[in-house]
Amino acid sequence: MRLSRAILAAASIFTIAASTSASAEGVTVDDLLKDQSTAGDVLTNGQDIRGQRYSPLDKINTTNVASLAPAWVFQYGGEKQRGQEAQAIVSDGVIYVTASYSRVYAIDAKTGTEIWQYESRLPEGILPCCDVINRGAAILGNKIYFGTLDAQLVALDKKTGKVAWRKRMGDFKAGFSYSATPLIVPSKHGPLIVTGTSGSEFGIVGTVDARNVETGELVWSRPTIEGHVGTLLGKPSTMTGKKNESWPGDMWKWGGGAAWLGGTYDPDTKQIFMGVGNPAPWNSHLRPGDNKWGCGRIALNPDTGEINWGFQTTPHDGWDYDGVNEVISFDAGGKKLAATADRNGFFYVLDRTNGKFVNGFAFAENITWAKGLDKNGRPIYNKDNYPGDPKKSKDGKKGKGVFVVPSFLGGKNQMPMAYSQQTGLFYVPSNEWGMDLWNEPVSYKKGAAYLGAGFTIKPIFKDHIGSLKAVDPISGKIVWAVKNKAPLWGGILSTAGGLVFYGTPEGYLKALDAKTGKELWKFQTGSGIVAPPTTWEQDGEQIIGVSIGWGGAVPLWGGEVAKTVKHLNQGSSYWTFKLPKKMAAN
């Protein structure tokens, strides 16, 4: 199906009678904060507002998972397939899941029957970077919140799917888009819905925005690139950093830094954690300096939008090692820590109270761009692995090329990792690949690609690209690794049943022993999986759910790798699994 057909589709809502037990006030902020400890629902992206993706449910476990079987499957419908990257949320017996082309579905969790469907009207000329995907919705009160490819934030009535309000987050003609899951957090202003946007490849300037959940009105906005001034309650607040401290000339004005993956919240320190994407353009010779806060993580005060601390994983990025990957709070050794696995191939442990570096190590293999990390977590650069300055070439059109590992699609990309409170391990969906990379001249023009680079992605091993790794965040040890021929692009779920669930582009949903990595179960769904599984309890039974549909960045940007996976089938559906009742009762 051609994209033009989809973006001409009118917004539509289809409703049938729904029977739910929702209370008058609906989901509360307290419910969101306690999400991990409540078995009958999934209210946050990550099964936990901290993003741990760990469930205390254990009815499905290492002893019986081999009998797991499909319960029902729901088709998203029509020709609108492409990548399905959303994690569903589950509340009062209803599954709310987003799909490609800015759609939302409400589905009866027991039967798989559609309750309502909403499809946003998409204009001509949208500029999404990496497929027409959406990563999920948020819930609060009696509303469902999600964002659209043309950078609008939409609130829907959760019973009917009717629009309560709609707010524009950025000008799609300038390159703004949105595909993340909104984050809802408490603040002194009441609950806020927090978002970033996509668009660094078009030279937009990233911001983190917080809005009133009832009206959608902006409460505060925090630019992610230094030199830009934030807002608070409709007035200018403070500047991010100091203008020109780590950016030259006017380059900060088109500096990228999109916080495009969304964030997590730490109730202990009352901070929002957001990843900040690549600085723009990719051609790093045009912007000497660290280019804060591109390719970094920031902690924000939910009351003011002020940055409490920042940590750059790749200062002066020259490889598009987008720093947006999720920041997950966990405790170890009596310390409040946070972990993040970066596209640059390194795993970082930070003190989440102040952002200080605690530990870091490589989780990707054969890294070439850096020799390691220093005592402060700053990369020790291999300067020979920066692509050359085109101004120094004979014709001024193409700088000296290099082969770099990992590729810009990263040791880990958007697919979220999981943490197990049982094992103390993180389960990281990683990829082993490199790229030929060279720089080119470029200048900013509104709505035009702002890269200044060319690339070709290549595998570095013959037998695999994907590798699911169990990582000890304290010792830095890779406890086990399971290889996969195609790249891994879907997230991970860990459970108290001693299991790790994940999907593959080849179409398998799999369950592994969390301690050993031994494969205990798999099921062929018919299309590649690029979404994270989730789990909840329903009528005394544990359910596993996952969205199915091959797509995302790999087939669009994957170079030689894309050619190797072009045979994979697209799809567009949501699957649920449970144990046979006799087995579940044993």
Torsion of Cα atoms, 542 then 548 then 553 then 558, to 10°: 110
**How does pLDDT run along the chain (586 residues), one tens digit per residue?**
333 333 333 333 333 333 333 344 799 999 999 999 999 999 999 999 999 999 999 999 999 999 999 999 999 987 788 899 999 999 999 999 999 999 999 999 999 999 999 999 999 989 888 899 999 999 999 999 999 999 999 999 999 999 999 999 999 999 999 999 999 999 999 999 999 999 999 999 999 999 999 999 999 999 999 999 999 999 999 999 999 999 999 999 999 999 999 999 999 999 999 999 999 999 999 999 999 999 999 999 999 999 999 999 999 999 999 999 999 999 999 999 999 999 999 999 999 999 999 999 999 999 999 999 999 999 999 989 999 999 999 888 999 999 999 999 999 999 999 999 999 999 999 999 999 999 999 999 999 999 999 999 999 999 999 999 999 999 999 999 999 999 999 999 999 999 999 999 999 999 999 999 999 999 999 999 999 999 999 999 999 999 999 999 898 888 888 888 888 888 999 999 999 987 555 5
Return the beta strands (E) in 384-532 as ranges: 402-404, 418-419, 426-431, 433-439, 453-459, 466-471, 478-484, 492-495, 499-503, 508-513, 519-524
CA distance 527 to 220: 41
SS3 of residue 33 by DSSP: helix
SS3 of residue 280 by DSSP: coil
Give catalytic residues, as residue numbers. 320
Domain ranges (residues) in the chain: 3-76+94-585
Nearest to 407 by CA among 341, 462, 456, 468: 456
- CB burial class (10 A; 0-12, 13-18, 19+) of residue 564? middle
- What architecture is the 3-76+94-585 domain classified under in CATH? 8 Propeller (2.140)
